[in-house]
Amino acid sequence: MQTLAQTVFQGKSVDLTDTWQYGSLISASLGEEWSGFGSTMFVQPLTQAWETVLQPSAASLNDKWSRSVVANWQTAFDGRFPFAASKSDASLPMLAEFVRKDSGRIERFLTTELSGVLHKEGSQWVPDKVNSQGLSFNPAFLRAINQLSQLSDILFTDGSQGISFELQARPVPQVVETQLTIDGQKLHYFKPDG
């Protein structure tokens, strides 16, 4: 049964989901007067069968996610800034290993294990309306992967990793001198009297 659910999770068509879609069409074609009958006869049995197949497989998939992504994420980023108030920074190359589009660990997991029930619309991951029937995604999970997808868009806009920014000094009456060191480059600003 797990193999059947995995094929749907991975985006491969199977008879059960095709039959469920066909049952829904038959039910809808009976009209409003017969909709209850159509649903009872053609949709509900297939929905129950799908849920029976789905539950053990979803638990197995959650375990695989925890082992292959979450555990490694925690090892790499627990206690590191910006994920925690810390003087120890998260490694940008390691972050790239997780969030890079098309090749990051998270994107690879989602596209290989969940492409049948979860897909991208623009830069947002959303559940597939048909194949995810009976499967509920934790809203916190969806928020997190979408936030990381946005982070990937910011960090890797041109394919390379990094964030470009500019600093512009503005005079403040009480500050006469400022020294700033970034990546070994020293900048010294001095405001003469006057």
Report pTM. Answer: 0.64
Percent of the chain having pLDDT more than 70?
82
| Interval 67-87 mean pLDDT | 92
Per-residue confidence (pLDDT) for residue 141, from 0 to 100: 94
Tokens representing 51 are: 């849920």
Distance CA 66, CA 72 (A): 9
SS3 call for 83: coil
pLDDT single digits (tens) 79-98: 998 888 989 999 888 998 99
From 121, 122, 97, 124, select the one nearest 109 (Cα to Cα). 97
| Interval 143-149 mean pLDDT | 94
